[in-house]
Amino acid sequence: MSTLPRPGLSFSQKRKLEDQFGAQVPEFSEYHQKRRGLESFSVKGAALAGIGSCIFAYQRSYQPLTGIFVGAMAFLTARSAAKYFGAPYFGVNSINNAEFDRAFNLWVYYEHNPYRKDADLPIHQFESRYQKRLNEFREKHKNDYTQFLKQ
């Protein structure tokens, strides 16, 4: 099996393809919405915490860089905390995340790889191996097979 001849996807490319995947694959569309909901919630909550702590730190120190640094740290911390503590509320867990990522990566490889040929699909590889082994078996046991048919 060949690999993609290009580097990984950029953030915006991956985001667009994930949205396409969520819309086109019905088995994962609901989980995709849950993941997007959790992401939206964590970013909004983290933005509020970051802005609030930025203002608070600036009022205490009157130094803009301190406020910006504290706001950025609060944003990152609040986003991680919201994802960790909000995941059960949104129905997101690590096993489902891994399954979603695996299915998404397979979908990207088989649907959006311009270098892939139809012969690369696992079902075609399986069928060709099966036919080859079946023909080898028939050649090897040709006499037994004809005797079996005569009975």
pTM over 0.75: no
Which range (7-21, 65-79, 90-104, 108-122) has the least confidence?
A: 108-122
Domains of the chain by residue range: 11-115, 117-151
Structure tokens given for 124: 């075609």
Neighbouring C-alpha atoms within 13 Å toward the C-beta of 20: 12
pLDDT digits (tens, 9 = 90+) for 60-92: 888 889 999 999 999 999 999 999 999 999 989
pLDDT digits (tens, 9 = 90+) for 22-64: 999 888 999 999 999 999 999 999 999 999 999 999 898 888 8
